[in-house]
């Protein structure tokens, strides 16, 4: 059963559903750019090594967000530094 949370304001609530998706582990950023519509695109890759020793990275997750959300994300990461 998903857990449910709520964001926003009482007049304009946003309901958040968590279906329990597994957390992804990433090793590197493979894409970081802003397009002409101020949409930020970030792709993360997870590295692994083949049996022959060749290191490869598979895209683990891609994020697309408006620039103002990206700035909120950056501020949140900065707050984690304490």
Per-residue burial over 11-50, b = 16 or more CB atoms within 10 Å of its CB, e = otherwise: eeeeeeeeeeeeeeeeeeeeeeeeeeeeebebbbbeeeee
Number of folded domains that form the chain: 1
Is residue 55 included in any domain, yes or no? yes
Query: Which residue segment(s) compose the domain that 55 sits in?
Result: 25-80
Name the average pLDDT for the chain: 91
Is residue 72 included in any domain, yes or no? yes
Is residue 59 included in any domain, yes or no? yes
Is residue 76 included in any domain, yes or no? yes
Is residue 19 included in any domain, yes or no? no
Q: What is the mean pLDDT of each run of 10 residues along the chain (82 residues)?
A: 85 90 89 96 92 89 96 95 83
- Asked whether the beta carbons of 41 and 30 are under 8 A apart, the reply is no
- Asked whether the beta carbons of 43 and 57 are under 8 A apart, the reply is no
pTM: 0.69
Is residue 49 included in any domain, yes or no? yes
41 is written with which tokens? 């695109």
């Amino acid at each position: 059963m998903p857990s449910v949370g709520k964001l926003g304001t009482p007049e304009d609530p946003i309901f958040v559903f968590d279906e329990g998706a597994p957390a992804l582990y990433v090793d590197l950023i493979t894409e970081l750019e802003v397009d002409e519509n101020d949409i930020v695109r970030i792709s993360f890759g997870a590295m692994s090594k083949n049996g022959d020793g060749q290191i490869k990275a598979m895209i683990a997750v891609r994020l697309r967000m408006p620039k103002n959300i990206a700035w909120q994300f950056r501020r949140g990461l900065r707050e984690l530094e304490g």
